[in-house]
Amino acid sequence: MKTTSPRSGTSAGLVIAVVAAFSFGMSGAFIKPLLEAGWSPAAAVTVRALVGGIVLTPAAVILLRGRWASLWRAKWRVLLMALIGVAGTQLAYFSAIEHIPVSTAILLEYMAPVLLVGLTWVTTRKVPQVVVIVGTVVAVAGLVLVVGPAAGGHLDPIGLVFGVIAMVGCAIYYVVAADSSGDLPPVALAAAGLVLGGIALGVVGLTGLVPFTVSTAPTVLFGSTVAWWIPMLIVGVVATAVAYSTNITASEMLGSRLASFTGLLEVVAATLYAWILLGEDLSFAQLVGGALILGGIAFVRSAREPADALLPIGPTAPAIDPTPTAPLTRV
């Protein structure tokens, strides 16, 4: 019988993770025209999540036919994906950018891979391999170059707190996405998480806790005037439905740590899309940063230790000593 080696499985997972990152990264170029037309970020993300969830629902229903019990068995995983991976992380990010520069908020959120390395260190009580530590340093240096955090200025402590919450939420997203215990298909997890997360975001928006404004005015997309639903449909299908389902699939194959590092390519992809589609500047430092992120991923991938040492989600998790344990913003 033909078998697949762990290395080939990791390679396939990396390919899927890159597809996910470049799908996620597309969102900025298509959401920006909606924001300029009067949409608030929370409203745009809410509709985006609901569109993505609705698009995935038919496939999820087909895959779950005859085994709906798997959805109930994974209820805690689904709820964590919806309330933290989809809704909570993005609300924290939006709250952060009200007080600190966007680049600083992005940098804080995408420190999630570092948090996962630290959590693995704590839960296993084993110092990470040198290649993992080197990869972490190299990838973070690349992220700093790509994002280009704002220099100087006052950093509101409230904004920093929300930025850290977004980082924790992003880390939890990858832990939840990578937990392949049970037989829930990734598409079903993505569909349920997006629909429930979109509803949660909508409820929060309607309470007035965050600005929630929708506009049906035409938008200017790459120099042409189009109906508002065109960029939203593109974001909902490609940068949400495809992105979340492929990212969850890749996370199950790679584990939360490697998947989270590969997720840093989303920032690189967003920068490239902004350069190609919106005509924004692409600096040499950002190119170097992208190369460093790739180098960091290569270092982390070369580690021989298990990709994940964090616990499964839900009541099936094994009992161990209680040790603290801990998802793009996808705007």
Domain range summary for the chain, segments of one domain joined by +: 9-301
Residue 231: pLDDT above 70?
A: yes
CB of 176 within 8 A of CB of 261? no
Is residue 216 classed exposed, middle or buried when 0-12, 13-18 and 19+ CB atoms within 10 A define those classes? Answer: exposed
* Per-residue pLDDT tens digits for 45-74: 999 999 999 999 999 999 998 788 888 889
In terms of average pLDDT, the best of 4-8, 217-221, 280-284, 318-322 is 217-221
Q: What is the pLDDT of residue 138?
A: 93
**How would residue 313 be classed by pLDDT, with cut points 50, 70 and 90?**
low
Distance in angstroms (rounded) separating the CA atoms of residues 60 and 308? 27
Question: Which of 147-156, 251-260, 316-325 has the least mean pLDDT?
Answer: 316-325
Q: What is the C-alpha separation between 150 and 145, in angstroms, rounded? A: 11
Separation of alpha carbons 264 and 218, rounded Å: 33
Tokens of 196: 């429930």
d(CA 41, CA 43): 5
What pTM does this model have?
0.85
89/87 Cα distance (integer angstroms): 6
CB 142 within 8 A of CB 290: yes
Whether pLDDT at 312 is above 70 = no
For the stretch 136-191, pLDDT in tens is: 999 999 898 888 765 555 678 888 899 899 999 999 999 999 987 678 899 999 99
Structure tokens at 188: 């079903």
Residue 323 has pLDDT above 70, yes or no: no
Question: Does residue 230 register a pLDDT over 90?
Answer: yes
What tokens were used for 16? Answer: 């899927």
